[in-house]
Amino acid sequence: MSSPIFQNILIYGLGLMGASLALTIKKQFPNSKIHAIVRSQESKLKIESMQIVHSVFIESEFLAQENPEKFWGEYDLIVFGTPVHLIKKQLTHIPKKLSAVITDMGSTKKTIIDAVASYYDGQSDHNYISSHPMCGSELAGAENAIDGLYQDKLCILTPLENSNREGLNRLRSFWEAMGMRTHVLDEVSHDRILAYLSHSPHILSSLMVTWADTHVGDENKKSPQPIMGGGFRDMARIAGSNPEMWQAILSENRLSILESLKEFGSLLEKTIHSLESGSPEEWEKLFLDAAQHKKHLIES
């Protein structure tokens, strides 16, 4: 049994990611205490019935505490598992002078880092280090929590200039104990890279299923089995994921996503032109180039 890196952990927002994290903590550090904040009585009852945390607070009740320093001070790790636009508001509820390591699991970083820097306003040696566990599911909600969701995945860490170095090392050790590999990346690079490797692909997948269903959906439904191969299913898997989360991601990382989609559009226009002109040598080159780029991008 591993010695706990953190003894008393608060997960603020227990959706798919937060609930899956609670399951992993219970397995890796059974002596750690896990607590959660949720937004409604309905969510509280659901989480309590799942028995994955030791206590559950409703957000409004938790924030109404008369002595917030005392209650926040009970934890040595605080993890935000809410959408990015909520994290920026919720972090202001945390007293600035806490010994706890504070992190989030947001999919974009620039606006979070800007909000944290503004909140701490030059305070040196604070304990906020942003995280992005690169895992998830097309499903949402605590009821879809996945045991082992974090295993063998990558977690990107984005410290601020004034983030405590010891806190960064402890947080890195925590995510590695969850089964992840870690990589430190600044917020601007993070958002640009993720626009190409996560955010825009989700948009393209959603457009693809809408495009296909609009034009051939009725014919497809007449078949005793869907008329599609594994390639379409693989590309369609992430279509229509959690709308609230993706609305926030598109808003927070709009410019990087816009740049990447414009570049994709240029490539698509070039391909359309080659089909219109009937240039088979260009079609062959398309797949040869793709094979090389795939090897460089994905294969280790």
CATH, domain 191-297, list 3.60.10.10, 1.10.1740.10, 1.10.3660.10, 3.40.50.2300: 1.10.3660.10
- Give residue for tokens 């993706």: 246
Give pLDDT tens digits for 217-276. Answer: 999 999 999 999 999 999 999 998 888 888 889 999 999 999 999 999 999 999 999 999
Q: How far apart are CA 174 and CA 160, in angstroms?
A: 18
Q: Quick one: pLDDT at residue 77? A: 97
Q: How far apart are CA 14 and CA 28, in angstroms?
A: 19
Provide the residue ranges of all domains of the chain, joining segments of one domain with +: 8-185, 191-297
The enclosing H or E element of 80 equals strand 77-80
CATH H superfamily, domain 8-185: NAD(P)-binding Rossmann-like Domain (3.40.50.720)
Q: In the structure encoding, which two tokens stand for residue 93, read together?
A: 């509820």
Start-to-end CA distance of the chain, whole Å, equals: 32
- Averages of pLDDT over runs of 10 residues in the chain (300 residues) are 84 94 95 94 92 92 76 93 90 89 96 94 88 85 90 97 94 97 97 97 96 96 92 93 86 96 97 90 92 89
Give pLDDT tens digits for 97-107. Answer: 889 999 999 99
